[in-house]
A and B are shown apart, each in its own frame.
Chain A
């Protein structure tokens, strides 16, 4: 997946006639293969970047492309969306639906047939360790379980690229460990970009770290390279490396 010369500004809301400041300006970047973690402070543009990648938002200028599909071409939008799985920051239960029905509905929205979506839903719930909750109403699931339903929704349609926005927010340490296992498994065969503002999530399982701040890439490299930005002495090395990069701003 590639972002080419992307500008993005949120449109004015309500009766406001002027827009906000640009979130991204002339942003060009290619998502690396394998597992990538996207770090950055609040307001850095992480969620916007992922939403642009998912075509939930559209660049003011520039384009998002993947495998010869370009977001500027109307005909490419649907195949592009089919190739991309996006887990937004907030996962809400669909009123009245069970976990499996919610995942199947998301699969249908992403272009699967009804029968295929129904079958894939249970597979995706198994992959996220939630098969035993498949027939519970989504509204009755805990916050952590609901995030896993969100991940299952993203997996259900066999996307080539996964964009996961703060997938571990609100999860307890055990759930986060479980989540990392799931991500490791699904990342073996896909491009996965995970945004987080929790440096604790940084793990050797990620192949690439990218630091985004004020719409600019401040760092892109391996986890080892990122940690190498500060001395190995002392605690919380990742946090110090991150702070060093962000503080420069």
Chain B
């Protein structure tokens, strides 16, 4: 087919510009990702939610064209695979360009970086599978049926599946919107599982297109989709909603100051020096108040961080020293237990955090900015408690700290009275 003819007759090419623009626009609606290119690429590939349907319907139209002209399965010299390729390829290529546009916008919004190829490979596999399924529907059914199926099928798979329990089902779709926090990386299991499912769908489409007897084709399609689905489920069953694994600590950028070591992710490297200064200044003050802070602060995930290290989560953009003090103070808090609904013990952690900040020398104005009101209006003002604790003897302060830290861990249903220094 000549270019002019292709542009005139193929919906995939008519719709190329609107689809690419829609993907780029959609990517602007997604959260920006602090310079972490893995997370930014993951957000960008969320455009698959509608690009999958585009590929399927465009390929379905081409299949339907062959069906309506009675050209499918004719005694041709060209191989069926070649014929299908030229029908499906434009839709897949336009779809891939649209995904890349979404990824480019997402990366640009997060401060640049190189797209992560793993997401793009999985997205490409998905688009090929959707294109093949769309074509198969087009040559098999009247377009009035094949068209709506081609739109609804991928849309249902890509948007409904992530919305249902069990939550790990979403990892089979190849759309990894929940990847990744800075301390996380895309896990291998979801990549393999979604690729297996996509390849299974592709093989099922190929089986459906063969000239074998209908019963054999139906049996083949059921068998291959079942096997691929079972393999995929086996790989991701039991995972949480995020398709992630801890990010390799080898990527951390570290700085040392005396016995202190601070490690943060490379996309946050710009504030490493400032962070070291803040921690260096705070540690002696905390020590004077009886708080022994760790010698290592790291952004690595707790599961891979060195034992005893404080786990940081620093902002991506340049910040005031006060914000960094808050980040470091938060890193000294113990992890919260998985409390039942209604428990409010974790809310008391803000008082401890504010007290750490106060001890580290944070001015009252800054404290007031960060802790203007507690999580729940029924709780006492944070600054009032911090000031009253700060004016108490060191032993009373220690006793208060121990008591409130216990509350944060105890899932106490209503701990307000225990917040006061004299309780």
Contact = CB atoms under 8 A, between A and B. Distances in A.
B391 interface: no
A241 B11 CA distance: 55
Contact of B77 (A56, A93, A95, A110): A110
A109 B78 contact: yes
Contacts of A82: 77
Given A92-B68, A105-B1, A81 B75 contact: yes
Contacts of B9: 96-97, 101
Interface residues of A, number: 29
Interface in B67-89: 68-71, 74-78, 83
A54 B231 CA distance: 43
Nearest to A100: B5
A98 B75 CA distance: 22
A11 interface: yes
Interface string B1-14: 11001001100000
Pick the most buried of B9, B76, B214: most chain A CB atoms within 10 A of its CB. B76
A96 B2 contact: no
A54 B75 contact: yes
Band of interface residues on B: 10 to 19
Contacts of B75: 54-56, 81, 84, 86
A63 B83 CA distance: 27
A106 B83 CA distance: 11
Nearest to B86: A108
Contacts of B65: 94-96
B70 A88 contact: yes
A118 interface: yes
B289 to A, nearest CB: 79
Interface in B358-400: none
B213 interface: yes
B78 A56 contact: no
Interface in A200-231: none
Contacts, number: 56
Contact of B74 (A14, A78, A109, A157): A109
B70 A92 contact: yes
Nearest to B64: A95
A110 B74 CA distance: 10
A191 to B, nearest CB: 17
A90 B77 contact: no
A81 B5 contact: no
Nearest to A118: B2
A85 to B, nearest CB: 10
Nearest to A80: B75
Pick the most buried of A14, A54, A78: most chain B CB atoms within 10 A of its CB. A78
A109 B69 contact: no
Pick the most buried of B68, B75, B76, B77: most chain A CB atoms within 10 A of its CB. B75
Given A55-B75, A56-B74, A109 B83 contact: yes
Contact of B5 (A84, A101, A109): A101
A54 B75 CA distance: 7
A114 interface: yes
Nearest to A97: B9
A11 B213 contact: yes
Top 10 A-B residue pairs of the complex, sorted by shortest distance between their CB atoms:
A111-B77, A96-B9, A94-B69, A109-B76, A56-B75, A55-B75, A54-B75, A92-B69, A82-B77, A81-B77
12 contacts: A11-B213, A14-B214, A54-B75, A56-B75, A93-B69, A94-B71, A96-B65, A97-B9, A101-B1, A101-B9, A106-B71, A109-B76
Interface of B: 1-2, 5, 8-9, 65, 68-71, 74-78, 83, 213-214
Given A109-B76, A111-B78, 8 more contacts: A54-B75, A88-B70, A94-B65, A102-B69, A106-B71, A109-B74, A109-B83, A118-B2
